[in-house]
Each structure stands twice: as C-alpha cells, then as structure tokens.
Structure 1
C-alpha cells in the first residue's frame, strides 16, 4: 500500500511556521508522510532549534526552497519579501514536486498550503493533486480577506486594498469591530507594502475557491460568528503541542528552559509574563517606560526581550534597573511559551496579541493586557477586550507612548478585578472541549486526516462546521 504523502508549506513568518509545524506533526502521528517546505533561511533556523526532528524517522522530511532574496537581505522588509516570494517561489515549488514525484512510491498526494501562499494551491490544482488551505490565524482576520470585494464595493478600500476612510468594519453583529486602517494588509504606512500585501489577499481568495478543504487554527467556541459567516471554513484548533503532551517546534530562536526553574520558585498566580512575538519593535522611550512600569508594579515578572526588539542595536535598560528589580525580574531572549503560560505561577499575560499567543493565553485561562503592533493583532485585541472580555487595552499618551503609570494601573486593574479571571477560565473550558475527543475541532481534524489517507473522496466526506 502506498503511504499518503503530504507536502506542507507555511508562509515564512514565525507566527505561521509554528502552527503549521504542529499540524504537520499531527499528520505524522497518524502515519502520514510529510514533506515540510521552509524557505532556506527559515529552514536553517527551525532545524537548528528543533532537537527532536529525527524522532519521526522517514515520515517527516524537512526541505527548503529559496525565497529569492540574498541571505544577507532584510526579510523584515515586507514589500521586498512578499514581492520576491510571488516572483520566485512558485516555480521552485513546482520543480521540487516534480523531483519528488519521479519516485512512484513517494509521489505527493496532497498539498496543504498556508492561505497566504495561495499560489501553492493553484500549483496543486494544475498538477492534479489533492489540496487544502490552512489558516493559522483568527478566522475574523481571514473573513476580512475573503470579503475584500465587499469592502471595495462599499468604498472602504480601493481596488488596490488601500483604505479610503477611517470607517469601523464589522462583518456581523457579533464579530470584533476593526478600523479600516488596521486591516491585516492595510496597517502599514508605506502604500507600496499595502498594495503588495493586498495581492496576497486577492490570491488567497482566488485559491480558497480551488481548495477541497479549508481548515483553520481556531474553534467555533471562540469565533462562532466568523465561522457562521463562512461555513466552508472548518475549525481544527487550537493546534498546540500541549494537546499532544509534546514540545512545540518551529521556533526561529532557541528557547531558554531555565526560566521554568525560576517560575517554580514564585508564588501561585503572581508573575506577569511579557512577550511580544517575533515582529514587534519598540523605540527606546517606549522600551524604557515598559521597563519602569514593570518595576512600579512591584510584582515578579518574566520578560522576553528578543534580539532586535528595539530600534537601537541593543536594548538599553534604565540606569541601575537590574540592581533595583533584582531576582524579582527575569529577562530572557526567547521562552518556551506554551510551558510558561501553563505554569501555575503566571498571573497574567502582557501580549502583542498574535493569534498563537492569543489562543495559548486562552487555553490556559489567563487574563491579558493587550499591546498590538500590526496586522491581525488588532482583531485579536478586540476579541480579548470586546467579545470575550478577558483583558484590557493600554491607553497611549499624546506622544503615542504607553507610560509607566498606565502599565502599573492596568496591571492592578486586571489582577484585582475577579470577572476578568472568571471569564478567562470560562474561555479555557470552552477551548478545551473543542480539542478533546468528541469536540468539533478534534472530529474535524480526524476526518481531515481520513480524507488525506483515502485515495478517492467526494463532498459527502467533508464535515459540517457546526
């Protein structure tokens, strides 16, 4: 019997690679062969930080194709990166598949592509390979992408995706509201980046009509309105390594597990955990205010300060800061976040509201202080503050700075208001029910894997989303 062989390709950003890697590991656990395709740069990063990659034997193959940029070029330049991906990667992926398919017993039988890599879905259709799109972020964000023509027709954006006014968009009564300038592709000051990002949106919407399955890293328990709006989108999440009682893979930086020993020494529900993902950048003024706000809180804190998080070459802490906070503060470059958030000493999460962080916080029943930076993070902030009511926003001063006093005040308000904690625990129970046996996400994922393993399928094999 020929084993099914799935080629999986994420969008080359940390927040996309991690959940896509988790999906790949779920497939491998069920005996599906997976070829995981990263860009050359990300392949090197992921394989250098994942020490258990060989545990799957020949079922998991990590490969790479070029993104078209030189190794030294800045991949934080989203215009350059996106333009290069669209120009270079489609032909490279097609060549890779052709090379794999020369072996009769090893042919690619299915392609799962990040929805931001819609061109890969088109290649799958062209090569007559089963195909599925995967969306690693919130379905609310995806809904705005799939609704782009409606936004054009209503004169909220122009035909190149640029916002025309400051209108609040709400696709349904119970979905989070979003300002047009905070749309995932439109939240950049550079119009050229907005326009090239919108090309990805248009291609994603086109590709969505070519997919046989469109699976999402979410659940109807936390996004019912978005799934009702687009019932062809199927929840299989949250996809977390903790669901498999395993360690998370796909990181670009090495995790520092020593922080867990430090957490063991802290009282229950006492520690503020602060992490802003892989993209957020602070100027030195804001960085200093954050540091001083944590000091003023007088609570123990665990703060992730990754390389490149400030505009300056190295983060500069206030004079005497380390001596003053002493052992009460632990600062590190990258943390095993799922394990940190599950630790009983964590009281709350100060987050950039990336979707991975959002669902990890929700899974562990933690109240959140929201500090979004760009893209879908504003949608997720609205979920936390307006829909789920499990957290608070920070207010900026006239200079656009979140001050030390604001930080201290919001920490106290969040941790002294019992309803935030109660609502967070309620969300935790709902999320847990979706991924356990009998839950909708668990059932959908099982049926999706069954579909991959079958030679021939038809529409009746696809599950209803509700």
Structure 2
C-alpha cells in the first residue's frame, strides 16, 4: 500500500484532548497515513516517560506516529492547570513555534505536510496551516452539544441568556433544541474553566475559534449519532466518528501523561461480576482535603469493592497519616492507584458503576461499555455531560452537594446503592452500548463518517 498523505495532528495541551486525537491518529495510520503528533514540550516529556518499554519504538519509525513537540510559552515551573494562563501563553507563542516545526520537518527530508488535523480549541493553528498551503480538518474532542452551544453564542446573547462577555444575564435552565441536554446558565463551559478573573481569556478563545473553524474543510467529533441526535440535527456538518478507541486489545498507547498501573486488571480479575465501584476524576480535578475524606469514607461505607484513581496532585494538603490509616482500613477491599488504562477497566466484567467527573472521554468510554454512571462534575463541559447522562440518556444519577458545597459520605453511599440496584438504568446503559458499537461497525453512521474523512484526506 502506497503511503498516503503526511498529517500533522495538534491537540489542545491537556490529557483529555491528547487521548482522542491519539486514538484518531492510530486509526489514520491503519489507513496508510503518516502522522506527526505535536504535543507541547511538557506534555511530550510526560507521554514519553509514561510509555512502557517497547512502546516508545512503536510510536517512532515503523508505527507511523512520530512524536514531535514545541514550547507552550510558559516557564517550566508554571501551573499548566491554570487554563487562563496556559491559553494566554500558547496563543501568543505557539504559532511561531509551529511554523518553525513545519519548516524544520521539510528541511529534515520528511514528506511535505499535506493535512493538519487540529483541535478546534487550537484554531490559531489553522491560520498557520493556510500559510503553508496545508489543508485543515478540525477535530472536536467533546460533545457535539458543547460545540453547538459555542456556535450559538450570538443567539444566546440575542435571547438575553448571556451578555456579550459570555456571562449569564438570567439564572435559568434552558434547552438549545429538542433532544438536547437541558443546561443551567451558570453551567456554561466557558464560565467554568478556571478563575473568574481570567474568564474573558477563555471566552475570547471560544469566539475566535468559532470563526477560525471556517478554515477547516471538515469537522469531525468523538461522539455518535444516537447519543446526540438533537445536536446532530442542529449541526449536521459536525460529523461524529466515535466513540473512538485505538484498538480492541488495548495494546496501542493513547498518550497517557502518567504510567498505567497494571495491577488494576489483575485485581479486577479477582472480583465478582458487577461488584466494583470504579472512581476516577480525570486529569484536571483537584479536591480539597475535606471533600477527599468524605469521598474516601463514602466508598468505605458502600461496603463494596472499589477501584479509585488518585493522581499524585489530586489533593494538595491531605494528611499523610490519615491516608495511611485509610489505606490500612480498606486494604482487602479497595484498590487505590495513580492512573490506569481506563478503557480496559470499563470493559471489565467486574465493574458495576462509574463514579465520574463526566469528562467527555470518560463519558464516551462508559457509554461504549454500558457502564451506569454516578456523575460528579468538576468544571468546563462536565455539567453538560452530566445532563446527558441524567436527563437525556438516563443511564445514571448525579451526586448532590450539601448547603456547604460538600458531597457527604452518606450522599455518596446512598447514590451508589441507587445506581447499582436500578434495573432500568442498567438496561438503558446496555442499549446505548449496543448503539455505540453499531455506529462504529461496518455500515454504521460513525463508520461511514470516518470513511468520508479518509476519502477527503486521500485526495
């Protein structure tokens, strides 16, 4: 098979964006494309360090995915979870670095880059591509409904729901169109992505990217038609090609920033079917010590086996003595690790439910595996995704914070029981699992949309 075009893939610099674009890159390589995957230097170092033994070579030479990196414009010690700071820096510094990278690839004798598959959130890169005569496909890593809300900002302003700075003018729940998740005006993604004083940076990015997306010849997203029929109807030109996954055997690396702890799967193998509460809050959420302790004690109260992913930076200031004591109390029943192969965990027969922040990758991975959800959103688009789970698909429930904003151990325990014992939730989750698998199978809507993408990029 002759090598097809050389494709540059550029995610927004965050784990939740790297993963689906890495999955898409593997699929493009399977179809004969050559891919250069561009991370920021910091993320690149994390990805390379987290790769196990032989995998670093898989991504180099023969594997078809070449890893490249450019600076994000921040100093080494700056907090990259501060999205306002990160976006402000990369918008100013990364365009010049990307231009140098593209010129450098050609100088090094690599085939000329023909396509950029760029994250919609990195719209500035579409302008860089145009300078070099590179054609653009944009990739949307979240729910189509989330993009729909962004593209409908002028209408939200016109209807008096938000002002021209993106802030809510009315406190109410609204629905963009039939079949779409109802959302409260206080939960719009661009107002929940970090410190309020930096909100204008995010809102400016969103409105600018709305315009820049016009430079792309096609927009594809990690979703599927049945999950978002209402949003698909509103924006039929955003083509869902998901739920994305790299390979059925979970062998291909998806760009994790932390090494996967392989003990999880062996531990799950030893648990009864449908018994384990799986708890994970993605790559960004930070809990204060009090909330962490309530969550921990809530898991203990369920009396069920649990697998809990606790990143090293999850709870600054937690008492080490308390944690050690907790570990000892739950030793036989709970497993706590810092990162895992989440798709492999969710595909496991032992998992009963998924206590999740409802990031879109986690949401799609849960749906694809028919896992009932207990939603505990943290920021950005996660409130919208919770609304999908609880209001539209009805494949899970949500935790409710008390007056002080804390989700108590009793609340967690009772909601876990409710989710796990609800036969209707389980049945609907199973139906969505079937729909998701049908969409990516031969003849399914996501399968056909992916073929449209391959045909366009093969021109």
Check the 8 A contact 1:218/1:235 in 2, yes or no.
Answer: yes
Give the match's secondary structure for 2:39: strand
2:58 corresponds in structure 1 to 55
**1:155 aligns to what SS in structure 2?**
coil
Are the equivalent residues in 2 in contact too, given 1:180–1:186 (CA < 8 A)? no
Deviates more, 1:156-165 or 1:363-372: 156-165
Conserved? CA contact 2:3–2:33, under 8 Å? no
1:338 aligns with 2:343: yes
Q: Against the structure 1 CA distance between its residues 150 and 132, is the aligned structure 2 distance closer, same or farther, given a 3 Å change threshold?
A: same
1:376-421 C-alpha deviation (Å, 9 max, x unpaired): 1101100100000010011111111111111111111111111110
Per-residue CA deviation, residues 336-378 of structure 1 (Å, 9 max, x unaligned), is 1111111111111000000111011111111010000001110
Which of 254, 258, 272 is 1:253 aligned to? 258
Q: Distance in 2 between matches of 1:107 and 1:208?
A: 23
What SS class does the counterpart of residue 106 from structure 1 fall into? coil
Residues 165-187 of structure 1: per-residue CA shift (max 9 Å, x gap): 32323110210011222111111
Question: How far did residue 332 of structure 1 move?
Answer: 0.7
Q: Note the C-alpha offset of 1:189.
A: 6.5
Q: TM-score w.r.t. structure 1 length?
A: 0.94
Equivalent residue number for residue 87 of structure 2: 82
- Spell out the pairing of 1:223-302 with structure 2 (5 A cutoff): 223-243=228-248, 246-302=251-307
1:413 equivalenced with 2:414 (yes/no): no
Post-superposition CA distance 1:253-289 (Å, at most 9, x none): 0000111111111111000000000111111111111
Aligned-partner Cα distance in 2 for 1:43–1:269: 37
1:414-464 Cα offsets, whole Å, 9 max, x none, are: 11111110010011000000111111111211221122122xxxxxxxxxx
Q: 1:168 to 1:27 in 2, by over 3 A?
A: same
Asked if the contact 1:7–1:108 (Cα under 8 Å) also holds between the matched residues in 2, the reply is yes
- For 1:255 and 1:381, locate their aligned partners in 2 and report how far apart those are by CA, in whole Å: 26
Paired residue for 1:463? none
Whole-Å Cα distance in 1 between the matches of residues 447 and 17 of structure 2? Answer: 21
Distance (whole Å) between structure 1 residues aligned to residue 241 and residue 194 of structure 2: 34
Q: Which deviates the most, 155-164 or 14-23?
A: 155-164
- In structure 2, do the counterparts of structure 1 residues 96 and 267 end up closer, same or farther at CA, with 3 Å as the change threshold? same
Cα separation, 1, equivalents of 2:321 and 2:118:
40
Take 1:95 and 1:145, find their aligned partners in 2: how far apart are those partners?
Answer: 31
SS at match of 2:176: coil
The equivalent of 2:167 in structure 1 is 162
Q: Cα–Cα, structure 1 residues 316 and 21, in superposed 2: closer, same or farther, change >3 Å?
A: farther
Which residue is equivalent to 1:147? 152
- 1:447 aligns to what? 452
Aligned counterpart, 1:464: none
Contact kept, 8 Å, 2:3 with 2:34, in 1: the verdict is no
Give the Cα separation in 1 of the matches to 2:328 and 2:71.
46
Deviation at 1:104, TM superposition (A): 7.1
How many positions carry a matched residue from both structures? 454
Using a 3 Å threshold, how does the CA distance of structure 1 residues 53 and 226 change in structure 2: closer, same or farther? farther
Aligned partners of 1:220 and 1:4: how far apart in 2? 28
Counterpart Cα distance in 2 of 1:406 and 1:88: 45
Moved more, 106-115 or 175-184: 175-184
> Cα–Cα, structure 1 residues 315 and 342, in superposed 2: closer, same or farther, change >3 Å?
farther
Query: In structure 2, how many angstroms separate the alpha carbons of the residues matched to 1:13 and 1:189?
Result: 14
Report the equivalent of 1:193: 198
C-alpha distance in 2 between matches for 1:64 and 1:126: 20
Matches for 1:413-432 after TM superposition, within 5 Å: 413-432=418-437
Q: How large is the Cα RMSD of the aligned pairs?
A: 1.8
Q: What is residue 17 of structure 1 aligned with on the other side?
A: 18
Q: Which residue of 2 aligns with 1:32?
A: 33
Partners of 1:246 and 1:105 lie apart in 2 by 27
426-435 vs 152-161, which moves further: 152-161
Instruction: Say whether the 8 Å CA contact 1:309–1:315 is kept in structure 2.
Output: no
Aligned-partner Cα distance in 2 for 1:310–1:259: 21
Taking structure 2 as the reference length, the TM-score comes to 0.95
The alpha-carbon deviation at position 190 of structure 1 amounts to 3.2
| 2:219 counterpart SS class | strand
Q: Residues of 1 paired with 2:86 and 2:70: CA distance?
A: 14
Gaps of 5+ in 1: 455-466
After superposition, the C-alpha distances for 1:65-104 in whole angstroms (9 at most, x for unaligned) are: 1110011111112221110011101111122112223467
2:7 pairs with 1:6? yes
